[in-house]
Amino acid sequence: MTVQSSTSSLLRSSSSGGASLKPGFADPVFDAQAVFRASLIATAYPGRVVPLEHTLAPPRPFSSATAALCLTLMDFETPAWLDRQTASGDAAAWLRFHCSLPVTDNPMAALFAVVTDPMTMPRLFEFHQGDVEYPDRSTTLIIQVPSFTEGPTTIWTGPGIKTSASIAIGGLPFWFWSDWELNGELYPRGIDVIFTCGNALIGLPRTIKATDGTVEA
């Protein structure tokens, strides 16, 4: 049996009840490289909407961009926390198959956290903020949102933004931006966020300050 036919067999039988497991990247190496470059651009230029080149048809509740980021960033060495909506669906089995992903119930133990239902997500301070010696070991949150344009307006400033950027991420809990302000006070510690919507990304690194866009300067 060839590697390709063996993999196809596993895809058909790996999920519960023998149901078909959705495929990942068509070309794992080159597709992952493209998504990684897009994630670097999103992080380097916070607030910029960065579209991905290829579209996936992932299991619910994942959008194409969320699935692509998971396939690119996660592997057997990256413990991840999944929110209830993600953990209870086909996406969890899909991640275990394609990424050999170790899943943790403890947000503090996660290098990545995947949130597809932001309204029920833990507070930001419940994730690992990094250590003084190793601030890069903090949790990176992948937060899937319904819109990049239909939420409350926030003004972002900081590295990678020439003057300021007006951003209106939709679907976040009311406390998110006040928690983000507290996250900024921990620098160089603190979490980083990548928002996904459809097949696009927006990066929000810990260096970015976000203020209420409805308040007059």
> Which tens digit of pLDDT belongs to each residue from 58-86?
999 999 999 999 999 999 999 999 999 99
Question: Looking at the domain covering 23-212, what would its CATH class be?
Answer: alpha beta
| Cα–Cα nearest to 183, from 139, 213, 152, 150 | 139
DSSP state of 191: -
DSSP state of 96: H
| Cα–Cα nearest to 214, from 163, 185, 177 | 177
> Which tens digit of pLDDT belongs to each residue from 50-62?
999 989 999 999 9
Q: How many residues does the chain have?
A: 217
DSSP character string of 28-82:
HHHHHHHHHHHHHHHHHSTT--EE-SS---PPTT--HHHHHHHHHH--TT--EEE
Q: Quick check: 28 pLDDT over 60?
A: yes
> Which tens digit of pLDDT belongs to each residue from 115-166?
999 999 999 999 999 999 999 999 999 999 999 999 999 999 999 999 999 9
| Cα–Cα nearest to 76, from 110, 52, 44, 100 | 100
